[in-house]
Amino acid sequence: MLKKYVKKVIISLLLFAIFTINAGANTKYGRLTGVNWFGLETGSFTFHGLWNRDYRSVVQQIADLGFNCIRIPWCNAMFDNAAVGNQINEYGVDAYTGEVGMNLDLEGLSPVEILDKVIDEAAKYDISIILDNHSRTNDGYSAETLWYTAAYSESRWINDWVKLAGRYKNKSNVVGADLNNEPHGNTGNGQKPPATWGYQESGYGDTDWKAAAERCGAAVLNANPNLLIIVEGVEEYKGTGYWWGGNLMGVKDSPITSIPGGALVYSAHEYGSSVFNQTWFSASNFPSNMPAIWDKFFYFIEKENIAPLFFGEFGITGTAAANSSSTDYRWFKAFMDYAGSNCSWTFWSFNPNSGDTGGLLEDDWVSVNMNKYNLLKPYLASGSVPNPTPVPTTPPAVTTAPTTPPTETPVTTQVPGQTGDVNNSDSIDIVDALLIAQYYVGLNPQNFDLSAADTNCDGNIDIVDALLVAQYYVDLITAFC
C-alpha cells in the first residue's frame, strides 16, 4: 500500500513539474532550435545545394545533428509564371548517404512544389518548418525596406501568405509564418523609406510595420489558425537604431494586441562584428555590456513574459568560431549563454554560401564545421540524441560534386554512464527523472549525461524515460530496457 502511495506522489510531482516547465517552453509547439536553409528566395527558386546533394539527405543531416526546426526563406516572385527551380542535380551519388541518384522526384516541379517535397520530408523526422517571407522579388531582401514595393503590393503580399497558409493547413509540421524578413531603413543616412513601429514616418507613404503585421497576421490565421505569427522588429525606433529587424523597442509602447497570445511570437535578428562593427563591440566592458543592450532592444519581451521570443537569424564565421579570443566568439558565447536555452532560434545558416557568415556546412556541402556546431549543441532543444550518419570516406565519383572526397563528419561523444543516472551522482533518484523531463521540453539542464537518459532504449529521450526513472526510484521496476 505504501509503495502504491509513494508511486502516485512521485509521478504526480513529476507531472506537475513537467507541466510547469512546459508553460515556459517558449511557443505552443515547444522550443524550436534549428537552422536556415535558403535558396527559394534567390534566382535559383529552389533550395541551394541541390546541385551537390539530394534534398532528402540534407533534411536527414539536419535531423541527425539534433535540430528540430528549419526556417525556409522564400520570395513572392516564386509564384510568378516565369519562376522555375533550377540548379538541381539528378546524377551521381549523394555524399552524405551514399545513395545513387539525387532529386529525381523534383524534375519539372514548380518552386512551391519543391517546397512541398522538403516539408513532407521534414515531417518524417518531426522537424518543424517556419516559412520566412524573405523578399518580394528574388534576391531583393537588401533593397526592400518595407513589406511592399511598386511591383508587389500589400494585397499581393497578404494574398501570397494566405495561399501558403491554406496550402499547409493540414501539414502539422508547418508551424510558423515569419511575415517579413528584416524590415529596415532609417531617418538618417540609411535606406529609405524607413520601416516604423506603431507610427508613420511623414513623406514616405505607409511605413507602420506593426500595423501591417497585424493585418497580415489576421488574414493568415483566418486561413490557418494553427500557425505561429512571427513578427520581426525594425531597424530604427524613434531615432534609436539597431540591427535590421532586431529593434523591438516599440513593443513597450505599442505591443501587438490583435493577434491572439498563443499565436504571436516576436522575432529579432542578432549578429556579430563580421556583419557590421557596431560600437558596442569595442566597448571597454565588452561582452559584459551586451545583456543590457539585448534587454533594451528585445529581451525585455522574454523577461516580462510578453510573448515568446524567436531569433530567426544569428551566425558566426568559421574563423571566429575557431578562435575563442575573437570578438565574435565572445559575443556569440555570451548571446547563447544569455538567451540560447530560453528562446527558440534558427542559426544562419546551414548553407555554406552565406556571404556574411558562411554556414554550418563547409564548402563541400556535407562536412560540418564542428567549431560552430559545438557552440550550438549545448543549447539544442531536441527529444532525440544527435546521431550523425557517417559520411562515406570514399564515395563514388559524383557529377558536379567536389573532386576531393568529403571528410567524415566528427561526432562528439560522451563516455556512457549508468543508465538513468543522468547527473552522474552514482544514484538514480527523482532528480534524474526531473532532469530528463527538463531536457525533453528543451531546458537543457546542466551536467546532463545524455548517454544515460534513454531508459527504454528506443533511441529517443522523452517523458517515458523520465517516468521509468521515477518508477525505478520507488522500486516499481528493477532495471531499464
Tell me the torsion sign for CA atoms 31, 47, 145, 289.
Answer: positive
Question: Does residue 82 have a pLDDT over 90?
Answer: no
Across the range 189-218, mean pLDDT stands at 97
Q: Is beta strand 240-241 parallel, antiparallel or unpaired with respect to 264-269?
A: unpaired
Cite the active site residues: 182, 313
- Determine the pLDDT at residue 379: 97
Nearest residue to 229 (alpha-carbon basis) of 21, 29, 382, 25: 29
Give me the phi and psi of 260, to 5 degrees please.
-55, 145
Q: What is the b/e burial string over 429-462, where b = at least 16 CB atoms within 10 angstroms of the residue's CB?
A: bbbbbbbbbbbbbbbbeeebbbebbbbeeeebbb
pLDDT band at 404, cuts 50/70/90?
very low
For the chain, domains (ranges, CATH) are 2-20+413-473 (1.10.1330.10), 31-379 (3.20.20.80)
What pTM, to 2 d.p., does this model score? 0.78
Give me the phi and psi of 293, to 5 degrees please.
-70, -45
pLDDT band at 26, cuts 50/70/90?
confident
Question: Does residue 156 have a pLDDT over 80?
Answer: yes
Question: Does residue 416 have a pLDDT over 90?
Answer: no
Q: Is beta strand 240-241 parallel, antiparallel or unpaired with respect to 236-237?
A: antiparallel
Residue 302 region by backbone torsions, left for phi larger than 0, else alpha for psi between -120 and 50, else beta:
alpha
- Determine the pLDDT at residue 414: 32
Tell me the torsion sign for CA atoms 165, 168, 171, 176.
Answer: negative
Share of the chain above pLDDT 70, in %: 85
- Determine the pLDDT at residue 387: 57
Which residues are CB-neighbours of 317 under 8 A, at least 6 positions away?
274, 328, 357, 358
- Determine the pLDDT at residue 237: 97
pLDDT band at 432, cuts 50/70/90?
confident
- Determine the pLDDT at residue 437: 82
User: What value does the mean pLDDT of the chain take?
Assistant: 88
Q: What is the CA radius of gyration of the chain?
A: 23
411 within 8 A of 389, measured Cβ to Cβ: no
- Determine the pLDDT at residue 403: 30
Is the omega angle on the peptide bond into residue 287 within 30 degrees of 0, that is, cis?
Answer: yes
**Single-letter amino acid code for the residue at 344:** S
Residue where the block lists cell 532504449: 457
CA distances from 424 to 17, 407, 417 (A): 21, 34, 7
Give me the phi and psi of 279, to 5 degrees please.
-60, -30
**Single-letter amino acid code for the residue at 120:** D
Question: Does residue 385 have a pLDDT over 80?
Answer: no
CA 82 to chain centre: 30
CA–CA gap between residue 43 and residue 328 (Å, rounded): 31
- Determine the pLDDT at residue 11: 56
Neighbours of 249 (CB within 10 A): 19
CA–CA gap between residue 481 and residue 478 (Å, rounded): 10
CA–CA gap between residue 473 and residue 476 (Å, rounded): 8
